[in-house]
Structure 1
Amino acid sequence: MINKFAERIKEQLILKGKNQAELSRAIKVSGATVSEWINGKKQPTADNIILVADYFDVSADYLLGRTE
């Protein structure tokens, strides 16, 4: 699950023309936290998954690899 989450965040950053710093500021987490998610070193909380999903306007299920 975490690897799919990391993959989907990377994909969404590219598709939306955003970077890790913009994401971290928008959802009020550190840049290091976003980096750890992307590198699969840290698992996001349920609340953070929802914040990321809202930021990218996708579902949490999509970010978790449960839907396409």
Structure 2
Amino acid sequence: MTKINRIAEVLIEHNKRNTDLINLFDVSESTVSRWVNNKQQPDILKFYKIAEYLKIDIRDLFYKTEWK
């Protein structure tokens, strides 16, 4: 499976937990679990709000794309 987002890593880097996103978006634990495990992607607005919450560049939430 291709990893798309770095949500799990970024949360750790900023000493945050999944529960912070659960509370921020008022979504279920399973929803956030799917996001951090790259089984499902949040919509772009949620990526923006995560970046805003963590005060980071939105691009930091994604793995760098390397084309061959």
Same fold (TM over 0.5): yes
1:14-59: CA deviation from partner (whole Å, max 9, x where unpaired): 1222110122202333221110011111111011111111111112
Separation in 2 of the partners of 1:43 and 1:14? 18
Correspondence list, 1:1-68, <5 A: 3-5=3-5, 8-66=6-64
Separation in 2 of the partners of 1:59 and 1:45? 16
> Deviation at 1:63?
1.0
RMSD across aligned positions (CA): 1.8
List runs of 5+ in structure 1 lacking aligned partners: none
Count the aligned residue pairs.
63
Compute the TM-score of the two structures, normalised by the length of structure 1. Answer: 0.73
Looking at secondary structure, tell me which structure has more helix per residue: 1
Separation in 2 of the partners of 1:15 and 1:30? 23
1:31 alignment partner AA? E
Question: Rg bigger for which structure?
Answer: 2
